[in-house]
Structure 1
Amino acid sequence: MAGVGGTALATGAFWAVANVVAARIAGPAASSRALGVVGSGAMLANVVGVPLGAFAGQLVGWRGPFWALAALAAACIALIARHVPHDGPDRRAVSIRSELTALRSGRLWLTLAACATTTGGVLSTYSYISPLLTDRTGLPSSLVPLVLVGFGVGAVAGFLVGGRLGDVRPYATTIMAAAVTTVLLLAICLLSGFTVPTIVLVALLGFFGLGANPVLISLAVRFAGRAPTLGSALTVSAFNLGTAAGSWCAGLALDSCLGATGPAVVGASIAALTLIPTTAIVLTRRRHSTSPAV
């Protein structure tokens, strides 16, 4: 358990810093695109790395993949030290007190709320997609992993496309993604009895449902002002909080009269809530003349 907890702690710290580093290197004009590339790497690791690790574990034992990951992590240390630029002499350390002033930003909290609801809506459905595919769609359990791969491929593409669009129209991208995600989840509820439409809808859910994440991270880093690392760390926490709360509600819905479609109903409701903070961010934009155009 200690090893798992340590890995989780290191992973959270890594993503908090990696997002800031990527946004800083790319610059304000391309920060969402850079975060899209970083996020797509994480999704690609899930699509390719998880099944590859499971296969390797079957061949060489469960310890084999962990040793391989340790070796890759050690190699990454050298690559990061060589290629990631160091802080310049003009960069000052920010005190904890100064960083905490970022929590006064209303736009930051709106962005964090959007992070929680957009991820909670999608992953609450995705966490229980297997019962939907087997019980309602009638798909053999052996084919469910292929549908999950389709979701992952869609998510990778969504991160890349969403990041590019986010640099041009960040607010419009977040609102559009939330609206389309809600429609897709409702369509899954209605069409889950049909095989081909459901498979297509799950892939599209990966594309639109997670496509706004790099934009939201970029906005949080921007709204955090002098505390970009804190803003990035809070987005990671918001994503995880939304996933945990959404999955819990979806689990209750799965045991209700809604049955296998319950998680999708919960997901659609949570995803629709994303329209509230994203619209509020647009409305408050008028008071901030430095914000990019929608």
Structure 2
Amino acid sequence: MPLAVYILGVAIFAQGTSELMLAGLLPELSADLGVSVPDAGLLISGFAIGMLVGGPALAVLTLRWPPRTALLSFMAAFAAMHVVGGLTSSYEVLLATRVAGAFVYAGFWAVAAVTAINLVPAGARGRALSVVVGGLTMAILIGLPAGTLMGQSLSWRATFWAVAALSALAAAGVLATVPNTRPQGEEPSVRAEVRALARPQVWLAVATTAVSTAALIVVFTYLGALVVDTTGLAPVWVAGVLALYGLGSLIGVTLGGRVADARPFALLFAGLSGVTLVSAGIALGAAAAWAVVPLAFLLGAFGFAANPALNARVFTLAAGAPTLAASVNVSAFNLGITAGPWLGGLALEAGLGYPSIGWIGAVLGLAALALVALARRAAEPVVQPVEPVVRAS
């Protein structure tokens, strides 16, 4: 595995930490900026919106750029947004920097994924993508609790400066290790990429990404609230439960990356079946800590084990449109990240209680499994019946 692939994972860690860190700092942001906690929460929603639209837009705008140039441009803009965010006292300016930072972060994701698969043989794509995605799991495991602790101990602004510094260090690594040339082949063309992306199987894979992500995220989003409200654990244990989820995610994405290239459908069936069963288990055992705590670990493990296959499958189906395919898949992940918590919120507002979150995850998991089954059937070669040969006697 080339060093550049690991550097791309480090860059995703730096930027992914920013994506997650505000979840633990909403009270501090609310008090300092003079806004309500729900308004402070819009800073997280704004980031998701930027991610949703940024990937495809920047994929088209920078399609013919050399990869290193695009990556460094995105990282420079991302770091600059965090410098501005760390200096401003305006809620509106901070919200704008979150949307803009997420916009270029989505572009970085798309180009980084294409760069990673271009640096390795075709049989190692899933493993390379697992290294890149591993940066996000490290952000869950380390970046989120560290950012929360730093923001609570120093200031939420300190977390913005820390992300800007980490991004600058990662950019130096990108400059030193990532080549600035594309693989030999045809000149990239927006028309050719759109044409290659038009296959129905590609969109079936993208839909699987969105639904499976929603199944995982709907449970993860409310996991901390569930263990306090329904399970009865003290709030001090929430960080530990989320850390277990992060550890499971890291193990899952590492193991999944080693299987994704050889057996993508088997990995998808196993991972999504695990998410479905674990979500149902959390719904049934929500009141018992002995059940919820280990299930949090398994939720991260099964959910992220499927991730390399979700990414690699899109690249395989849209080989002629790698950059646009990656960007659309990034948007699909963020569509799931947006839809899952929204569905969970509807259930809670209806008074169904936190166990209902697990049932929503299970139903979405079953829907994702149905999409995988449909994709597998579509991928199977059609065997034409052989007409009997009649010989004249």
What TM-score range do you get, normalising by the shorter chain? over 0.9
2:336 is the counterpart of 1:242 = yes
2:119 maps to what in 1? Answer: 25
2:292 maps to what in 1? Answer: 198
> Over aligned residues, Cα RMSD in angstroms?
1.8
2:210 is the counterpart of 1:113 = no
1:12 maps to what in 2? Answer: 106
Structure 1 residue 59, shift from structure 2 partner:
4.4
TM-score by length of 1: 0.93
Question: 2:211 touches 2:364 (CA, 8 Å); kept in 1?
Answer: yes
Question: 2:118 touches 2:183 (CA, 8 Å); kept in 1?
Answer: no
Question: 1:188 touches 1:201 (CA, 8 Å); kept in 2?
Answer: yes
2:122 is the counterpart of 1:122 = no
Q: Distance in 1 between matches of 2:154 and 2:272?
A: 43
1:80 maps to what in 2? Answer: 174
Identity of aligned residues (%): 35
Change (3 A) 1:223 1:148: same
Question: 1:256 touches 1:262 (CA, 8 Å); kept in 2?
Answer: no
- Identify the range of structure 1 (87-96 vs 135-144) with the bigger mean alpha-carbon deviation: 87-96
Question: 1:40 touches 1:157 (CA, 8 Å); kept in 2?
Answer: no
Structure 2 residue identity aligned to 1:161: L
Structure 2 residue identity aligned to 1:15: W
Structure 2 residue identity aligned to 1:275: L
2:272 is the counterpart of 1:272 = no
1:56 maps to what in 2? Answer: 150
2:313 maps to what in 1? Answer: 219
Structure 1 residue 71, shift from structure 2 partner:
2.5
The structure number with the bigger radius of gyration is 2
Q: Residue 326 of structure 2 is aligned with which of 232, 241, 247?
A: 232
2:138 is the counterpart of 1:138 = no
**Structure 1: which 5+ runs fail to align?**
290-294
Q: Distance in 1 between matches of 2:154 and 2:231?
A: 36
- Identify the range of structure 1 (62-71 vs 5-14) with the bigger mean alpha-carbon deviation: 62-71
1:159 maps to what in 2? Answer: 253
Question: 2:206 touches 2:328 (CA, 8 Å); kept in 1?
Answer: yes
* Aligned-partner SS, 1:26: coil
Structure 1 residue 92, shift from structure 2 partner:
3.3
- Identify the range of structure 1 (62-71 vs 262-271) with the bigger mean alpha-carbon deviation: 62-71
Structure 1 residue 86, shift from structure 2 partner:
2.8
Q: Distance in 1 between matches of 2:193 and 2:131?
A: 27
Question: 1:118 touches 1:210 (CA, 8 Å); kept in 2?
Answer: no
2:35 maps to what in 1? Answer: none
Deviations 1:221-269 (A, max 9, x none): 1211211011111111111111211211111112334211111111111
Q: Distance in 1 between matches of 2:321 and 2:139?
A: 29
Q: Distance in 1 between matches of 2:286 and 2:320?
A: 47
Question: 1:16 touches 1:236 (CA, 8 Å); kept in 2?
Answer: yes
Structure 1 residue 58, shift from structure 2 partner:
4.0
Structure 2 residue identity aligned to 1:26: V
Structure 1 residue 60, shift from structure 2 partner:
4.1
Change (3 A) 1:59 1:179: closer
- Identify the range of structure 1 (268-277 vs 125-134) with the bigger mean alpha-carbon deviation: 125-134
Q: Distance in 1 between matches of 2:337 and 2:216?
A: 8
Question: 2:283 touches 2:357 (CA, 8 Å); kept in 1?
Answer: no
Deviations 1:11-35 (A, max 9, x none): 1111111111112212210111111
TM-score by length of 2: 0.70
Higher RCO structure (Cα 8 Å, ≥6 apart): 1
* Aligned-partner SS, 1:167: coil
Structure 2 residue identity aligned to 1:196: W
1:292 maps to what in 2? Answer: none
- Identify the range of structure 1 (276-285 vs 169-178) with the bigger mean alpha-carbon deviation: 276-285
Structure 2 residue identity aligned to 1:173: L
Structure 2 residue identity aligned to 1:243: I
